[in-house]
Amino acid sequence: MGGAISLLAVNFVIAQIFVAAFLVIAVKSRHGRAAAWCAAGFAIASLAAICEAVLPFTPVPKFFAVGAFASVLAGFCLLRFGLGLFYGVPAKPAALAAFLIVSVVVDLLIYDLPRGTLQHAFFYQMPFFLIQAWTAAAIMRSPRRSYADRIFVGLLVLNALHFLGKVYAAIAAGAGSTASDYLQSPFALISQALGAALIVGTGVAILGVMVKDIVDAARASSEIDSLSGLWNRRGFIERVAPWLLSRNAKSPGALILTDLDRFKGVNDTYGHHTGDEVIRQFARVLLDLIPSRAAAARLGGEEFAVFLPGVDLADARVVAQGMRAAIASTPIADLPETATITASFGVAAIAPGESLEMALQRADKALYVAKAAGRNRVECAEPTARVVTPVVSQWMRQ
């Protein structure tokens, strides 16, 4: 019995560590509610260790035996609810509550059946199998498909199968004749040892996917321009440069570099609040007109860039003309009706093997021509005569 109680204590301590970890995640993550429900799940499930430790010494073993069963299952139900929030596949609280109540009623009905029999072991372990399988199936319906998510689903499936295996283990190893005898049975050591391993595995897996979400969100926010909602310079380079390196097509795509005309005058005349609204509106114009695979960025100030994959120079010019016409005809809040916002555009077709830096330089020269020619116009860069693959420059490292 001492070995089983020691494992119960270990499981309880492990559960409290995960409770603390999930509470920290709840503070740091955008999915704080999901992490809080997971913390509650581990906290409630850990009460089973207390109930099972008290079993051999209490005059009311039935209360603590059923309490241990209900605690673990309630913890799993809370985890299902929290993970449903995290993965966007929510479970109805009423369905989870009904499942828990029915399962506890079944446990009460089988309480007096002989331990270590198929009838008792099957109906005792089946609710745990079902809740784990339910959670795994829900996550598989989620749009998230990262490597960490797949590992987590695999652990949930393994966890579900482990409860089916415990049906056989309870019969083969013996689970004691009564609930009070459980801690003295060989099955108790097997059950608690497997439980400890799976608690750690499941808890670490959940923490892993949630921490990955925090890291991904932080990385994304560092690559997004907060004012326009477009990629910033870093985010744009990290998406476009690898795309160019991985493609050997005859037409890798085209680059549009654009600059709002006389933007400083807008800020000086109407204020920076209006200037910010111009930036936001122009960003919406770009997003409305580019295809889904394209990338748009605010490189800084009033300068923007658009990458159009697989588009030739003629088509890219048409897109740029559409952008030019759209911003000129778009009303801006806080601007008088007579005030018009225009932009100039430089377009460059990217040659096979050409670096993003070289294409940006050519598009920038075309943009300069458009500015010098009177603004509110589109100019195309001359095609590159030959492509030289340069060493990554300081510009690319910024």
DSSP type of residue 384? P
Q: For residue 380, give the H/E element and its range.
A: strand 378-380
Which is catalytic among the residues 52, 302, 354, 379?
Answer: 302
CA-CA distances (angstroms) from residue 376 to 324, 326, 340, 346? 7, 11, 11, 11
Residue from 228, 220, 375 nearest 300 by CA: 228
Name the residue with tokens 């209006």.
274
Give catalytic status of residue 382 as yes or no.
Answer: no
Chain CA centroid to CA 183, Å: 41
* Distance in angstroms (rounded) separating the CA atoms of residues 47 and 179: 17
Distances (CA, A) of 81 to 26, 37, 41, 208, 209: 15, 7, 9, 18, 16
Q: Between 272-289 and 313-328, two packed helices, what is the crossing angle to 10 degrees?
A: 140
Query: Cβ-count burial of 390 within 10 angstroms (0-12 exposed, 13-18 middle, 19+ buried)?
Result: exposed
Show Cβ contacts of residue 26 under 8 Å, excluding neighbours closer than 6 positions: 32, 33, 35, 36, 39
- For strands 303-309 and 253-260, give the pairing: antiparallel
Show the DSSP H helices in 174-271 as ranges.
186-222, 233-246, 263-270
CA distances in angstroms from 157 to 90, 131, 152, 161, listed in the order given: 19, 11, 9, 6
Q: What's the burial of 246, exposed, middle or buried (CB within 10 Å: 0-12/13-18/19+)?
A: exposed
Paired tokens of 165 = 């295996």
Could you give the maximum distance between any two Cα atoms of the chain, in Å? 95
CA distance 284 to 228: 8
The torsion angles phi and psi of 172, rounded to 5 degrees, stand at: -75, -45
Amino acid at 37: W
Identify the bridge partners of residue 307 per DSSP, sorted by sequence position. 255, 295
Catalytic residues: 302
